[in-house]
Chains A and B, each alone.
Chain A
Amino acid sequence: DQQVKQNSPSLSVQEGRISILNCDYTNSMFDYFLWYKKYPAEGPTFLISISSIKDKNEDGRFTVFLNKSAKHLSLHIVPSQPGDSAVYFCAASAGGRDDKIIFGKGTRLHILP
């Protein structure tokens, strides 16, 4: 059962435009959400996170929006740059001592020149 879903395997966006990556979750106990970026043959790196008590968190070109009622979050990248081409993973955690972090399948973002 996929608790974190990224339904778009890939996305192509023109350089300079906005990239919007979407993520849905099913577990209402999740209270912390994260986005990671991954280049081929490397470990993922943390991008941005949001707690369930917020609905928006912004860090430079990256903004994450959380809609708890819809169990949906999105990552906005504005403006998109060539170096943003990578696989983006959405992740969620329900907290507690175990602190499991569950990832989606990822979305491959291509920034077109």
Chain B
Amino acid sequence: SQTIHQWPATLVQPVGSPLSLECTVEGTSNPNLYWYRQAAGRGLQLLFYSVGIGQISSEVPQNLSASRPQDRQFILSSKKLLLSDSGFYLCAWSVLGRLTGELFFGEGSRLTVL
């Protein structure tokens, strides 16, 4: 069966510090991978999505970046965090080509920038 894991689960970082959130998927190949953020009053905002290794599409201009160094690994990074980067970050995967359109989410990572 397929599983998705992301870490760390919680993170408290000072403004201006770097960020790295990791996500891995097991039990499937060639998944679409996504990073979403849930911020207060903003719902689930799509940040990045990837259809393959090294292929990243950015949805929202920001100081965040994403990378996909391996087929089932997706990393969210920042060189310098802003206060507005605080939120609940969710990694997700879906079947390439969308047989069902369903997204499978990880447990989430709570980031607090102070």
Q: Which A residues are within 8 Å of any B CB, using their own CB? A: 6, 32, 34, 36, 41-46, 49, 89, 91, 93, 95, 97-106
How many Å lie between the Cα of A110 and that of B49 in the bound state? 32
Q: A42-B107, A103-B46 are in contact. Are A49 and B90 (CB under 8 A)?
A: no
Q: A103-B44, A106-B44 are in contact. Are A98 and B51 (CB under 8 A)?
A: yes
CB-defined contacts of B92 to chain A, threshold 8 Å: 43
How many Å lie between the Cα of A97 and that of B31 in the bound state? 11
Identify the closest chain B residue to A102 (Cβ): B46
CB-defined contacts of A100 to chain B, threshold 8 Å: 46, 49, 57, 59
CB-defined contacts of A98 to chain B, threshold 8 Å: 49, 51, 57
How many Å lie between the Cα of A100 and that of B43 in the bound state? 16
Q: Tell me how far the C-beta of B16 lies from the nearest C-beta in chain A, rounded to whole angstroms.
A: 26
Give 1 or 0 for each of B100-114: 1 = CB within 8 Å of chain A CB.
111111111010000
Identify the closest chain B residue to A34 (Cβ): B101
Identify whether the interface residues of B are mostly helix, strand, loop, or mixed.
Answer: strand
| Contact of B43 with A105 in the complex, beta carbons under 8 Å | yes
Q: A99-B51, A103-B43 are in contact. Are A93 and B107 (CB under 8 A)?
A: no
How many Å lie between the Cα of A45 and that of B104 in the bound state? 7
Identify the closest chain A residue to B100 (Cβ): A49
CB-defined contacts of B98 to chain A, threshold 8 Å: 32, 93, 95, 99
CB-defined contacts of B101 to chain A, threshold 8 Å: 32, 34, 49, 93, 95, 99, 101
CB-defined contacts of B86 to chain A, threshold 8 Å: none
| Contact of B102 with A106 in the complex, beta carbons under 8 Å | no
Enumerate 24 A-B pairs (CB-CB under 8 Å) in ascending A order: A32-B98, A41-B110, A43-B105, A43-B106, A44-B90, A46-B102, A46-B104, A49-B101, A93-B98, A95-B101, A97-B51, A97-B96, A98-B51, A98-B57, A101-B94, A101-B101, A101-B103, A102-B46, A103-B36, A103-B43, A103-B46, A105-B42, A106-B43, A106-B44
| Contact of B51 with A43 in the complex, beta carbons under 8 Å | no
Identify the closest chain B residue to A99 (Cβ): B98
Q: Tell me how far the C-beta of B48 lies from the nearest C-beta in chain A, rounded to whole angstroms.
A: 10
Question: Is B27 engaged at the interface, CB distance under 8 Å to the other chain?
Answer: no
